Amino acid sequence: MENKCSLKNHLEIKAISYCQECKRYMCNKCDKLHSELFNDDHHQYKLDKDTTEIFTGLCKEKNHLIELTFFCITHNKLCCPKCITKIKNEEDGQHTDCNVCSLKDIEDEKRNKLKIIIKDLENLSNNLEQSIAGLKKILEENNQKREELKINIQKIFTKLRNALNDREDQLLLEVDKQFNNKFYFEDIIKKADKLPNQVKASLEKGKLIDEQWKNKNNKINILINDCLNIENNIKEIKDINDKKEKLNELKVDFEFLPDSKGINELLNEINKFGSINQNIRNMNIFDSKIEFEQSLVFSWLGNKKFISELLFRKSRDGSTCNDFHNKCDNKGNTIIFIETAKGYKFGGYTELQWERSSSYKYKKDNKSTFIFSLNHKEKYTNRIDNNSICCYSDKCPWFGSKYPEIFFENSLNKGESWDNTSENTFLLGRKLTNGEQYWEVKELEAYKIIYV
């Protein structure tokens, strides 16, 4: 509902503000005069700023309409004297049993909190501006990448279509060539159409010469010449007729052999041709504080799509084996990243479950469990048929068998690598830590791997 100005003469004019002290709605003209008169001494609400609720300073409880002069600490809410009063035979106030104080008692606390909130809002404002700018840049880059992908796909399929069109043209030319080579007597067929008339004409001419020969007055040389002409004509007619007969022997039934098997195979290949894959070279699939080539780990996990969930970070969650157990036990597939104080980076992956055990609990998985060196960019699977991890209440994480390659006892601040037996599960030699048996830990992180 639209609010109108409270001034008697302006009751039909739209209000643009409300004064909490005056308890009045004001139109544009009244608002201007009010501002000049009271300056900043009064609290004004501008109604054109999507104000959802006008604070009048009065309690909104039924039948109260008294100024809010108290503060309920229990409900973090302003209240009036009726709200905190318990009157006999009347309804109790809403805050009669609460921890209530005067506005003066809470003023300093709220003001100090406001200052903290202002700082938080300033930081949030800066962060939002930066993050929004970053998002806009990502959106712009994504749109550009989308168009580049479309152009690349169109180029490839244009080449394929051109190749198919070229092959079609070749086959059409081959058809013409084959037919032209086999039916080179096309002119004979045209001449054969005239044979009946030629035979009839020659017959009539022959009979006429024969009659003329009876007349002794006709010159013999003319008659003989006419005979020669008829003989040549007959020879040509017979020659055409012979060739015409041979045309029946030259009848060839051409057909197009499309190689159905090859076409079906090609169609299947076309259906599988090309794919749209995420380029993970520049993606952070692990939100890690340890810097490493994440695409390398992605390949070690079989290039399968997955979601990573940070379960544990030493600098955030604690530095004891018990802290690790609290966050990582029975979480499914996990991968551990470790960075030592000297910059050695390594870790391990397993689909076995970590658990808090009162005794040494060895587990074997020769297929999926492996350890790796991020410095050497190498992955190490089970070298021999041996246990992959061990679970114990105060010794975890532990990769390897009786003589582990990655081992922690009580504290995650220091780790150990064993190399005094041929029974090491994954590798011989302390390659992960460049020969060091004991090493200080700068950071340790554990992630849950969820394949999708």
Predicted local distance difference test score (pLDDT) of residue 277: 61
Whether 202 maps to a domain, the answer reads: yes
Whether 75 maps to a domain, the answer reads: no
Predicted local distance difference test score (pLDDT) of residue 346: 97
Same domain, 177 and 202: no
Same domain, 291 and 424: yes
How many domains would you assign to the chain? 3
Domain holding 221, by residue range, is 186-248
The residue among 272, 306, 323 that closes a domain is 272
Same domain, 233 and 310: no
Same domain, 294 and 215: no
Same domain, 357 and 447: yes
Predicted local distance difference test score (pLDDT) of residue 441: 96
Whether 360 maps to a domain, the answer reads: yes
Whether 239 maps to a domain, the answer reads: yes
Same domain, 319 and 216: no
Same domain, 302 and 171: no
Whether 241 maps to a domain, the answer reads: yes
Predicted local distance difference test score (pLDDT) of residue 37: 87
Same domain, 423 and 396: yes
The residue among 213, 239, 272 that closes a domain is 272
Predicted local distance difference test score (pLDDT) of residue 244: 64
Same domain, 264 and 162: yes
Amino acid at 15: A
Whether 91 maps to a domain, the answer reads: no
pLDDT in tens, the chain (452 residues): 678 899 988 988 998 888 878 888 899 999 999 988 887 778 777 886 545 566 777 888 877 778 899 999 999 999 999 898 887 666 678 888 899 999 999 999 999 989 988 988 888 887 777 778 877 887 888 899 889 889 988 988 888 889 889 888 988 888 888 776 555 556 666 666 776 777 788 788 888 888 888 777 778 888 788 888 888 878 877 777 776 666 655 555 667 777 777 777 777 777 777 666 655 555 668 889 999 999 899 999 988 888 899 999 999 999 999 999 999 999 999 999 999 999 999 999 999 999 998 899 999 987 899 999 999 999 999 988 889 999 998 888 999 988 899 999 989 999 999 886 778 889 888 999 999 999 999 999 999 998 87
Q: What is the rounded (10 degree) CA torsion for 274, 279, 280, 281?
A: 120
Same domain, 262 and 163: yes
The residue among 237, 272, 307 that closes a domain is 272
Predicted local distance difference test score (pLDDT) of residue 447: 96
Predicted local distance difference test score (pLDDT) of residue 1: 64
Same domain, 318 and 404: yes
Whether 120 maps to a domain, the answer reads: no
Same domain, 285 and 357: yes
Whether 30 maps to a domain, the answer reads: no
Q: Retrieve residue 411's tokens.
A: 């504290």
